[in-house]
Amino acid sequence: MSITSDALTRIAYQRGVRRVLLLTLVLNLLVVAGKLAAGIIAGSLSVISDAVHSSVDSLNNIIGLVIVRYAGAEPDDEHTYGHAKIETLAAFAIAGFLFITCYQIGLSAFDRLFDSSARTPEITALTIGVMIATIAINIVVTVFEHREGRRLKSEFLIADAIHTRSDVLVSCSILAGLFLVRAGYYWLDPAASLGVAVVIAWNGYKIFKSTVPVLLDAAPVSPQQIKEIAEAVPGVHSVHDIRARGRVGDMFIEMHMHITPEHERDHITSHAITEEVEHRLETEFGRAVITIHVEPLNRSTGDWHKA
């Protein structure tokens, strides 16, 4: 049984994403373990909150390893357009996890701020050293994952990289705050936790903003962009009734196209023209399933009728 080129592309995609997720999962678990241990030993709510923030990355990696297998599955009778939206749905779920985490951290921070009997953080050189090491690991993870996400055109990897990037910024601000806490400004520890909660909420919003349009079948590119590319192909008179959904790199495009009069009766040439349109659209937007309905010319008026 031969394997189609699309199947080979999907297999390569799955293997690439799985490799990235496994590597980042190991690194993220090291980061979580380091921050959690340092935060508990020091009694620092901000460091523990940062560990919780980082733990979402590990959870995302595990979710990704499960869903990538199904997102790249072949279309079937019940899912004729494939399963790619599973990946978008998973990215949407990441945002949900971020908002839940934000809420929990915010509650803990307010309790610590107004509890005079709360344990005073004891920031040591070990605490600071662990934070510096985890920041370095997170920088490696976010650069690698974002680069691979763009190369593989994986919405899930890019969304996860955005969250990991927030870890770097959050951890840097917490590291700066630890020096002040060590100097006696203990209230900065829960205050920094509130800052973590705000950053988490913002990242959740950005992921929602990128995934909701895909789930609602919003057009990933404007019809005008598609029209300009198609009409630039020699032999194309015009196109109309353009529809598109999905995301760049995995789109479904439909259109009605008018062939110039000298080519409309030459079926071989007409077919070549439609293939060239498809080729140019895929070159511009990446993988796409394109349906083109060719319509004839009414020679007496110069208008085109729908067949």
Between 30 and 186, the more confident residue is 30
Instruction: Report the distance separating Cα 269 and Cα 259, nearest Å.
Output: 10
Task: Tell whether 269 and 191 lie within a shared domain.
Answer: no
Indicate whether 211 pLDDT > 70: yes
Q: Domain holding 300: CATH number?
A: 3.30.70.1350
Global pTM value: 0.63
Model pLDDT, residue 288: 84
Could you give the number of structural domains in the chain? 2
Instruction: Report the distance separating Cα 179 and Cα 302, nearest Å.
Output: 77
Q: Domain holding 172: CATH number?
A: 1.20.1510.10
Between 175 and 132, the more confident residue is 132
Q: In the beta sheet, which residues pair with residue 252?
A: 245, 289
Model pLDDT, residue 306: 46
Which of 174, 191, 212 is a domain's end point?
212
Task: Tell whether 230 and 97 lie within a shared domain.
Answer: no
Which of 190, 212, 234 is a domain's end point?
212
For the chain, the residue count is: 307
| Residue 217 domain flag | no
Indicate whether 29 pLDDT > 90: yes
pLDDT, mean of residues 136-148: 91
pLDDT, mean of residues 122-136: 90
Task: Tell whether 64 and 200 lie within a shared domain.
Answer: yes
Residues whose CB is less than 8 angstroms from the CB of residue 188 and which lie 6 or more positions away in sequence, other chains included: 46, 177, 180, 181
Task: Tell whether 34 and 147 lie within a shared domain.
Answer: yes
| Residue 71 domain flag | yes
Task: Tell whether 133 and 241 lie within a shared domain.
Answer: no
Model pLDDT, residue 76: 67
Indicate whether 220 pLDDT > 60: yes
**Residue 46 near residue 192, CB atoms below 8 Å:** yes
Between 126 and 156, the more confident residue is 126
Q: The domain containing residue 199 runs over which residues?
A: 5-212
Amino acid type, 226 = I
pLDDT, mean of residues 145-162: 84
pLDDT, mean of residues 18-28: 91
Which of 168, 185, 212 is a domain's end point?
212
Output the DSSP codes for 21-88.
Answer: HHHHHHHHHHHHHHHHHHHHHHT-HHHHHHHHHHHHHHHHHHHHHHHHHHHTSPP-SS-TT-STHHHH
Task: Tell whether 116 and 261 lie within a shared domain.
Answer: no
Model pLDDT, residue 307: 42
pLDDT, mean of residues 239-265: 85
* Cα 61-33-113 angle, rounded to 5 deg: 105
Amino acid type, 60 = N
Could you tell me the pLDDT band of residue 301, with boundaries at 50, 70 and 90?
very low
Task: Tell whether 169 and 237 lie within a shared domain.
Answer: no
Task: Tell whether 201 and 268 lie within a shared domain.
Answer: no
Indicate whether 147 pLDDT > 50: yes
Task: Tell whether 208 and 231 lie within a shared domain.
Answer: no
Task: Tell whether 155 and 36 lie within a shared domain.
Answer: yes
| Residue 218 domain flag | no
**Residue 109 near residue 191, CB atoms below 8 Å:** yes
Task: Tell whether 31 and 125 lie within a shared domain.
Answer: yes
Indicate whether 23 pLDDT > 90: yes
Task: Tell whether 25 and 129 lie within a shared domain.
Answer: yes
